[in-house]
Structures are given as C-alpha cells and as structure tokens.
C-alpha cells in the first residue's frame, strides 16, 4: 500500500491544500445556492422563460474560457491564472447582486462564468501537480468535504436569503470568500516557472466562443423565440457548425493551440472526456429542475427544495472520497462503470416517480445519482491527469472540465427547450402544478438518457490501472 502519511493540513503541502479548499468553496457554494432562489428571482425580475439562461450563460462562459486558461497555465503557471479567475468571479458576483433586470443578471452571470472557468480547473490541476495518484485518493476526501459542506450550506443559504432577506445576498456572500481565497493563495502558493515567449491562439479562442454560443442559442431559443424549422434556427445551427469546423482547421496549424487536437487522439483522454460530458449534463439537469419541480408541484419552500437537492451534492463527495479505494484496487474503468450504473439507477427512479411528486423519493434519487457521479467523475479525471507530464496536465484537466461544462451548457439548453415547449403548449398558467410536473418529467427522462450514454463511454474506456497510467515528474510548486 502506498504511504499517504504526508497528506494533511500539517504536512509541508498542507497550507496549499487549505488554500485549494477555500478556492474550491467559491464554485461549490455558487453551484448549489442559485437553484433554490430561481423562483424568487423570477418573481422579482420576471422572465420565467429566460431563467435557463442564468445557468447556460454561466456554463457557456465557463466552458469556452477553460481551454484558454488551461493552455496559459501550462505556460505561465497556475497561480496568476487562478488569481485572475478569483478577481473576475468577485466582479461578477457584485454585479449580479446589483442586477436590475433578468437580461442584466444574465449578462453579469457571464462574468461570473469567466471567473469560474479559471478557479475550478486550476484548483484541480494544482492538486494533480503536488500529489501522486495514490495520494490524490486521500486528497479527494479533503476537497470532497468542501462540496459536502457546500451542498448543505449553499441550498440552505439560498432558501434563507430568498425567504427572509433578498435573493441578491446569494451573490454578495461570494465577496468575502473571494477575498479570503485570493489572500491565502498569494501567501501560501508558490511556483517556480521558467519564463519564455508564448504565442496566444486568439483565432482559436474567438472561433470556439462564437461557435459554441451560436449552437447554445439555437438549442435554447428553438421552439420558443422561433420555430425549429425557421431561418433563424437553421442559420444558428449552420453558423455554429461552420465556426467549429473553422476552429478545428485553425487548431491544426496553430503554434500553441488553445485546445490541442492530440487530446482527442488518445483513447484514454477521449473516453474520459465523454464521461465528463455526460456527468455535466446529468448534474445540471437535476440542479436546475429539481427545485422548480418540487416548488411548482407540491408547493414546498425554497429552503426545503434546496435540502432535497443537497442529497445529490452530499452523495457526490462521499463516493468521491471513497473512489480512490476502488480505482487503486480494481482500476479506473470498472470504477467509472460502477459510478455510471448508479447514475442510471438514480435518474430512472426519478423519472419513473416524477408523475407522483414525493419529497422523499426525490431526495433518495438525487442521493443515488450523487453517489454515481462521484464514482464516475473523480476517477476519470485522475486517470486523464495521471497519464501526462506537468506541461500537459493543465490542458488535459482543462479539457476534461471543459467537457463537463459543455455537457452542462448544452444540457441545460436542451432541457430548457423541452420544458419551454411544454409550457408553451399548455393552456394554463406556465407555472401551474400539472404543467410543472409534465415538463419536469420530460426533463428527467432526458437526464436518464444522458446517464445511459455515459455508460457507453465507460465501456470503451481502456481498462488501465494506476501503475499503467501514472506519469512521474517534478512539479514547480512549493508550499509553506
């Protein structure tokens, strides 16, 4: 058994670990606090049909910025990139708290997303830099504890702010966290990076951003703002496709591509990327629609719906912290397959019982899904990280989380299109309980399909063990 006694808060790397936990808390709390406040936000600002954009614009900004940050982190180091991310997240949070309309809030959420695009991948990349594969099995327990705490604190704060003060405080609460995370990283995290000249792939970054934006717009507004077979819809899809084709052509010739195509030529990296894509879709489907489903169907308060959703984000860190024991013994592939199987069972249970709303059944379903996502997401990411050296780890980690963000961004757009089409076809009020149940049921079925597709990605993943993929190498990181 590998010695992991040097992993902990009192070890040499302990201060860096604490800094990463605080930084991870920024994204963790933000990912759980918003969903429970959506009804309150809609009640204040209006725009019920637009609320999926609160998630999709954030995820889109996060997704398209991750490859840029990841590439820069492999050249200039992790520290400046993560600090830039914290700064943008702070700015976006303040502006969101001051938003005066739904379009303004959506625009400011994009700034938040640009910050999150640096924060989460850099925290995970740094952990991959300073800990071995075996040590990461224990480190995941510490990082998972942040999500476990946030899974309770986030929805609870969201419900409390919505009911007793104002939904605006779900954004203002990020301000002290951002300041603390930045201060700790400046003091505790140190790198020794050899400076060199870099070539920034501006063309690739612009094409990727515009291409994905066009596709997300086409999916989210199709059947709502315009018909699916309208010139606007067809034009958006065609434009998005052409821009992404142009992006691939540019990346093949770029000196330092934003998203190197070799990432997709290695079977392990390709399959783990697809697993992450499915994880993102399943996660956003539940976090976006479970609160709305419970509040709109059986009339529970935002606080109660948040606690039901917390079952998912409790299950995830529990299984993530235990996943190391599994992949160290049975390998990455079998662990991922076990996780995707749990996710399928949980999503099917939710879909099969959605027509008869039950708070208990929803919580149980979310907990099972959370267990599955923890067993699928963590081992697949660590397998990808461990197969490359330091100067490629940022790109590989970024690609994996980029796929998760794309899965979430495209997923929330598709789920939003499904729900909005049902609301549009209804003769009753758009938030009538029967209509909410019908729309939510359709969304949960689509989420279950995404979970099933994740199993397919796991089945074609190489059956590699830790010793088969671990890439040793020194990291230019110190902690004191």
In this prediction, residue 263 carries a pLDDT of 79
Question: Read out DSSP for 263-306?
Answer: GGTSHHHHHHHHHHHHHHHHHHHHHHHHHHHHHHHT---HHHHH
In this prediction, residue 465 carries a pLDDT of 58
Q: Are residues 231 and 283 in the same domain?
A: no
In a domain, 140, yes or no: yes
Q: Are residues 393 and 466 in the same domain?
A: yes
Q: Are residues 220 and 298 in the same domain?
A: no
The neighbour count for residue 1, using CB atoms within 10 Å, is: 5
Can you tell me which residue has the tokens 């606090």? 33
Number of domains within the chain: 2
In a domain, 3, yes or no: no
Q: Are residues 371 and 426 in the same domain?
A: yes
In a domain, 195, yes or no: no
96 in Cβ contact with 174 (< 8 Å): no
The DSSP symbol for 63 reads H
Q: Are residues 246 and 264 in the same domain?
A: no
- Identify the three-state secondary structure at position 226: strand
User: Token digits for 227?
Assistant: 């018909």
Q: What is the rounded distance in angstroms from the CA atom of residue 186 to the CA atom of residue 201?
A: 28
Q: Are residues 319 and 206 in the same domain?
A: no
Spell out the long-range contacts of 292-296 with Cβ–Cβ below 8 A and sequence spacing 24 or more.
Answer: 292/35, 292/38, 292/39, 292/436, 292/440, 293/354, 293/357, 293/362, 293/436, 293/437, 293/440, 294/357, 294/359, 294/362, 295/39, 296/39, 296/431, 296/433, 296/436, 296/437, 296/440
In this prediction, residue 451 carries a pLDDT of 93
467 in Cβ contact with 328 (< 8 Å): no
Q: What is the rounded distance in angstroms from the CA atom of residue 155 to the CA atom of residue 163?
A: 12
In this prediction, residue 189 carries a pLDDT of 79
In this prediction, residue 145 carries a pLDDT of 72
In this prediction, residue 339 carries a pLDDT of 94
Q: Are residues 268 and 402 in the same domain?
A: yes
78 in Cβ contact with 122 (< 8 Å): yes
User: Token digits for 342?
Assistant: 């749990």
In a domain, 4, yes or no: no
Domain that holds residue 229: 201-255
Q: Are residues 364 and 456 in the same domain?
A: yes
Domain boundary among 237, 255, 273: 255
Q: Are residues 251 and 352 in the same domain?
A: no
CA distances from 184 to 17, 21, 89, 127, 377 (A): 10, 10, 16, 16, 27
139 in Cβ contact with 17 (< 8 Å): yes
Q: Are residues 120 and 245 in the same domain?
A: no
In this prediction, residue 447 carries a pLDDT of 94
Domain boundary among 211, 239, 255: 255
In a domain, 83, yes or no: yes
Terminal-to-terminal C-alpha distance of the chain: 28
The DSSP symbol for 224 reads T
Sign of the four-CA dihedral 236, 238, 242, 247: positive
Q: Could you tell me if residue 356 is left (phi over 0), alpha (psi between -120 and 50 degrees) or otherwise beta?
A: beta
CATH number, position 384: 1.20.1250.20
CA distances from 291 to 277, 306, 341, 353, 449 (A): 23, 6, 24, 16, 20
Whole-model pTM? 0.75
Domain boundary among 221, 236, 255: 255
Q: Are residues 444 and 355 in the same domain?
A: yes
In a domain, 5, yes or no: no
In a domain, 309, yes or no: yes
In a domain, 458, yes or no: yes
Q: From first to last of the 480 residues of the chain, give the pLDDT tens digit.
A: 444 455 555 666 777 888 888 888 888 787 767 766 777 787 777 766 667 778 778 877 877 787 788 777 777 778 888 899 999 999 999 999 898 888 888 889 999 989 988 888 888 788 777 777 767 766 766 777 787 677 677 777 777 777 777 788 888 888 988 898 888 888 877 777 666 666 777 788 888 888 877 887 777 666 666 777 788 888 989 999 999 999 989 988 887 787 777 878 888 888 999 999 999 899 888 888 888 888 888 888 777 877 787 788 788 878 887 887 888 888 889 999 999 999 999 999 999 998 888 899 999 999 999 999 989 988 888 888 887 776 777 778 878 888 887 787 778 778 877 887 787 776 655 567 888 888 889 999 999 999 999 999 989 888 765 555 555 444 444 443
Q: Are residues 304 and 350 in the same domain?
A: yes
In this prediction, residue 229 carries a pLDDT of 79
């Amino acid at each position: 058994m590998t010695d992991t006694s040097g992993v902990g808060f009192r070890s040499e790397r302990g201060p860096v670990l604490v800094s990463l936990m605080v930084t991870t808390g920024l994204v963790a709390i933000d990912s759980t606090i918003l969903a429970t406040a959506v009804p309150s936000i809609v009640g204040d600002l209006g725009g019920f049909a637009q609320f999926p954009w609160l998630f999709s614009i954030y995820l889109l900004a996060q997704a398209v910025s991750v490859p840029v940050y990841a590439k820069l982190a492999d050249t200039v180091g992790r520290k400046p990139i993560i600090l830039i991310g914290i700064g943008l997240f702070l700015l976006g949070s303040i502006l969101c708290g001051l938003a005066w309309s739904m379009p303004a809030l959506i625009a400011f959420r994009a700034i938040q997303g640009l910050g999150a695009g640096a924060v989460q991948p850099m925290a995970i990349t740094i952990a991959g830099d300073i800990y071995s594969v075996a040590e990461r099995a224990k480190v995941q327990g510490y990082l998972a504890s942040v999500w476990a705490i946030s899974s309770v604190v986030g929805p609870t704060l969201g419900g409390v702010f919505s009911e007793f003060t104002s939904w605006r405080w779900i954004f203002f609460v990020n301000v002290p966290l951002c300041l603390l995370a930045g201060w700790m990283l400046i003091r505790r995290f140190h790198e020794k990076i050899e400076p060199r000249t870099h070539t920034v792939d501006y063309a690739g970054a612009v094409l990727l951003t515009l291409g994905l934006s066009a596709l997300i717009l086409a999916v989210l507004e199709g059947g709502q703002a315009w018909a699916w077979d309208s010139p606007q819809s067809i034009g958006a899809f065609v434009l998005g496709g052409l821009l992404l084709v142009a992006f691939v052509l540019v990346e093949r010739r770029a000196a330092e591509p934003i998203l190197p195509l070799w990432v997709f030529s290695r079977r392990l990296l390709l399959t783990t990327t697809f697993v992450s894509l499915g994880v993102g879709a399943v996660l956003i489907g539940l976090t976006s629609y479970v609160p709305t489903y419970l509040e709109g169907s059986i009339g529970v308060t935002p606080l109660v719906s948040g606690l039901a959703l917390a079952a998912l984000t409790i299950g995830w860190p529990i299984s993530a912290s235990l996943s190391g024991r599994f992949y160290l013994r049975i390998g990455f592939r079998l662990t991922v397959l076990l996780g995707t199987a749990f996710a399928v069972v949980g999503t099917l249970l939710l879909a099969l019982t959605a027509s008869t709303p039950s708070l208990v059944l929803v919580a149980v379903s979310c907990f099972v899904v959370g267990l599955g996502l923890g067993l699928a997401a963590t081992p697949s990411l660590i397998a990808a990280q461990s197969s490359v050296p330091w100067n490629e780890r940022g790109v590989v980690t970024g690609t994996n989380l980029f796929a998760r963000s794309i899965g979430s961004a495209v997923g929330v757009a598709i789920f939003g299109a499904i729900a909005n089409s049902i609301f549009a076809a209804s003769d009753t009020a758009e938030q009538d309980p029967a209509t909410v149940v019908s729309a939510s049921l359709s969304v949960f079925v689509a989420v279950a399909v995404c979970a099933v597709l994740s199993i397919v990605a796991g089945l074609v993943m190489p059956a590699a063990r830790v010793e088969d993929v671990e890439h040793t190498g020194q990291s230019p990181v110190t902690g004191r």
